[in-house]
Amino acid sequence: MPAPTVLLVHGAFADGSSWSRVIDRLQAEGVSAQALANPLRGLTHDGEYVANAAAQVEGPVVLVGHSYGGPVVTYAGGSAPNVTALVLVASFGVDYGVSALGSVAEFPESELNTALEPRAYPGSESPELYIRRDRFHSVFAADLPEEETALLAATQRPVALAGLNDVLEVEPAWKTIPVWFAVATQDHTIDPNSQRAAAARLGATTVEVEGSHAIALSQPDAVAALVLAAVRAQG
């Protein structure tokens, strides 16, 4: 079997550059890695987009999803036949018929809920969401320097609220392929206990990383090590 290609999918309020430090470490280990641009418009739409990208890669693929990117790769991994593993990072964990927001409904609201700024966008009656710039550091990346988070706040990509409410309409990939999960223990965006519960529900190989929601930037060594474990487990 050829070595897997790693495709990394960002979540809400971020872009592909959020994986830059992880990709640097993967490439140093000789792993082929690429960050995909998640459209952030809807779970089915985004899942189909990522599945299409994965299916065009020659050989096996390990899909890595951060935050809302977790449900997206959960969808895509069940649709692209060459996906052999998932890695979820500070993520939601969804099952068939469950949305990202629905998957955390039984847990206390996170700090994110009071920091969202909805804005209208063409073609939708539902808004897209930003994190208020004055709250971005605390909510998303409290363990990064404020100068860096100010830039992240200014370049954040909004997520359609509909995407967070869309239910998973395919069988989740974790039912047929192995999953690794990084729990961010100081996360103010997705409750860490909801992440732990999701990892257990998915039967994931789990590590706990002391860091904010942005652990791919603040703790890239730990995140890259988990991705490498998934890659090496593919043979």
What pLDDT score was predicted for residue 112?
97
Residue 154, pLDDT score: 98
What pLDDT is recorded for position 1? Answer: 72
Q: What is the pLDDT of residue 164?
A: 97
The reported pLDDT for the residue numbered 2 is: 86
Burial of 34 per CB tally in 10 Å (0-12, 13-18, 19+): middle
CA distance 39 to 45: 8
Q: Say how far apart CA 94 and CA 58 lie, in whole Å.
A: 28
* pLDDT for 235: 75
- Cβ(217)–Cβ(141) below 8 Å: yes
pLDDT along the chain (235 residues), means of 10: 94 98 98 98 98 97 98 97 98 98 97 97 94 98 98 98 96 98 98 98 98 98 98 91
Q: What confidence score (pLDDT) does residue 141 get?
A: 98
pLDDT at 56: 97
For residue 155, what are the contacts with CB-CB under 8 A and spacing of at least 6? Answer: 15
Closest to 67 in 3D by CA, of 210, 189, 222, 176: 189
CB 160 within 8 A of CB 40: yes
